[in-house]
Chain A
Amino acid sequence: MSNIPDGLLFSESHEWVSVYDGVATIGVSDFAQAEMGDITYVELPSEGDVLAAGDEFGALESVKASSELYCPVSGTVIEVNEALESSPEIVNSDPYGAWMIKVRLSDESELSSLLSAGAYAEIAR
């Protein structure tokens, strides 16, 4: 059973989103990290990159797999989690602590199309 905390929003491509004061913090779900196995590398964008909802913003790598990361919302990247560069394993050990990017939202109305924890639980199994 994967951990799906209430209060977060989710995308169908297994990213989670938490919003505070117009800024979305984005990572990948517990289900996604378990599917990937031991994560060996997290490829992230640069600060200042402008993303549209659905854009690829990076990738996760394990020994035998690679998976693209998609930004569920539109906006500008204002911060990336540099700790993941040297310690990708925290995506496995603490997926909801291991945020990847913070995006200043350009269109908050997009949030309504994301999934609630309950709705995501239907997909993540």
Chain B
Amino acid sequence: MRYYDRLIFELSRKGRIGFSLPACDADPVKAETAKGVTGIWRESPLDLPEVSEPDVVRHYTNLSQMNFGVDTGFYPLGSCTMKYNPKLNEEVLQSFLGLHPLQPESTAGGAEELLSFMKKALCEICGMKGFTLQPCAGAHGELTGLMLIREYHRSRGDEARCKVIIPDSAHGTNPASAAACGFEVVEVKSRPDGLVDIDALRPLLGPDIAGMMMTNPNTLGLFEKDILEIASLVHGCGGLMYYDGANLNPLLGIARPGDMGFDVMHVNLHKTFSTPHGGGGPGSGPVGVSEKLLPYLDKLKVSGFHGNFGVIARACAYILSLGREHLAEAGTFATLSANYIKESLKDCYRLPIDSVCKHEFVFDGLAGGGGDVTTLDVAKRLLDYGFHAPTIYFPLLFHQAIMIEPTETESKETLDAFIEVMRSIAHEASREPEVLRTAPHNTPVSRPDETAAARQPVLKYEFR
């Protein structure tokens, strides 16, 4: 990777063009003004770059070379499931590019067939009775699922249910989605072993509980083995169980959320089903429901058309490629890899909960505390060695959290190389802490001044 310091606007020269369109002398504004239609036209100048096609290609190619992706190297980002993105999935989109979303179904039979195949496949994998493919991201799925919970209680005249219970280890999106949907968030504590404290849960239950959101395995990578009891307690007070599918990957071939008592859930197609993250999207967050929520599923319109169809098509190619045989292996391999890293590093990094994990696990900083060296320093130093950093400072249960998720698509050699680097960073922390505190050293830029960025925000390029 090398530093490249241009913005497309800085390449602009008056008169250059990068488009290829038929000639056209018409001017809508003049034509309409001549007819007396005034006052609705743009008057301010339009500041866009004027660049040639080769300029554009070179500029964005240079930008891409300052980026790290799954295709570049190992990406052990906890709770993000950065597995390999198969290239075949990119090909299959070609069949659908010209399809208008409002075309009558009789002329879009193939597209409709794909959508219905995906709904059926997700029902089978998750143990649900129906799916909507409209949500465009995991958080969008959460909001949709919570809306379904609201519709369900409302239809029963049960409007007093205004609270949603969420474990303290939950992804930040859970409370944010619940609040966006107008629910009050009630936090339930984890026990020292990292699992939901059922004794703390019991007193929270009552006629004001709309539901409970959980991910299983939880964000510590631990399986909530009391899930049936939790579900039965929440159901007992009239609440519904929401499953955050961010951590679904390790359950492939092992268990289904629907069989654990969950009523509504989302799936991140960009995690479990291998579609590329694209630098932050587009993703897809289909929502599945059990029998009792089925009547409300098609009442909700949460995005423009059929959801992120292109992402859904990629996930479909993934499911077909793996088939029932290999889908069932993914969870086991992901779990094996996570435990392997955990066991190989727990003498150098503090493992607050020493038990078998699923797809991911959490260290709480360096063993022995690390002195002045923080989790941030370890993460930044990893970049120097050609690895992406793990998720850091999450979950909030530990001050120096390092959350590692290797996925099933990494070889033992890659895991070994990562383990070796993590060990050598731990040694550096005691011998040359300064190297860590000022890391990274081999990246296109060094640590950015985030405080300055937030104090005096510069959020766009200033022309002239």
Question: Are A and B close enough to touch in the complex, i.e. CB under 8 Å?
Answer: yes
> Which residues of A are in contact with B by a Cβ distance under 8 Å?
38, 40-41, 61-64, 88-89
> Which residues of B are in contact with A by a Cβ distance under 8 Å?
393, 450-451, 454-455
Which A residues are in CB contact (< 8 Å) with B454?
40-41, 61-63
Please provide the 10 A-B residue pairs with the shortest distance between their CB atoms, ordered closest to farther: A40-B454, A38-B451, A63-B450, A40-B455, A63-B454, A63-B451, A40-B451, A88-B455, A41-B454, A89-B455
The CA-CA distance from A41 to B453 in the complex, in Å, is 11
Distance in Å from the Cβ of A34 to the closest Cβ of chain B?
A: 15
Distance in Å from the Cβ of B330 to the closest Cβ of chain A?
A: 33
The B interface, classified by DSSP as helix, strand, loop or mixed, is helix
11 additional A-B residue pairs with CB within 8 Å, beyond A40-B454, A41-B455, A63-B451: A38-B451, A40-B451, A40-B455, A41-B454, A61-B454, A62-B451, A63-B450, A63-B454, A64-B393, A88-B455, A89-B455
Distance in Å from the Cβ of B437 to the closest Cβ of chain A?
A: 16
The CA-CA distance from A88 to B393 in the complex, in Å, is 25
Instruction: Supply 15 A–B pairs (Cβ within 8 Å), ascending by A.
Output: A38-B451, A40-B451, A40-B454, A40-B455, A41-B454, A41-B455, A61-B454, A62-B451, A62-B454, A63-B450, A63-B451, A63-B454, A64-B393, A88-B455, A89-B455
Closest-by-CB residue of A relative to B451 is: A38
Closest-by-CB residue of B relative to A40 is: B454
Which B residues are in CB contact (< 8 Å) with A88?
455
Which A residues are in CB contact (< 8 Å) with B393?
64
Distance in Å from the Cβ of A98 to the closest Cβ of chain B?
A: 14
Closest-by-CB residue of B relative to A61 is: B454
Closest-by-CB residue of B relative to A37 is: B451
Which A residues are in CB contact (< 8 Å) with B455?
40-41, 88-89
Residue with the greatest number of chain B CB neighbours at <10 A, chosen from A40, A61, A62, A88: A40
Which A residues are in CB contact (< 8 Å) with B451?
38, 40, 62-63
Closest-by-CB residue of B relative to A86 is: B456
Distance in Å from the Cβ of B445 to the closest Cβ of chain A?
A: 17
Which A residues are in CB contact (< 8 Å) with B450?
63
Closest-by-CB residue of B relative to A92 is: B451
Distance in Å from the Cβ of A73 to the closest Cβ of chain B?
A: 26
Which B residues are in CB contact (< 8 Å) with A40?
451, 454-455
The CA-CA distance from A123 to B393 in the complex, in Å, is 25
Distance in Å from the Cβ of A59 to the closest Cβ of chain B?
A: 13
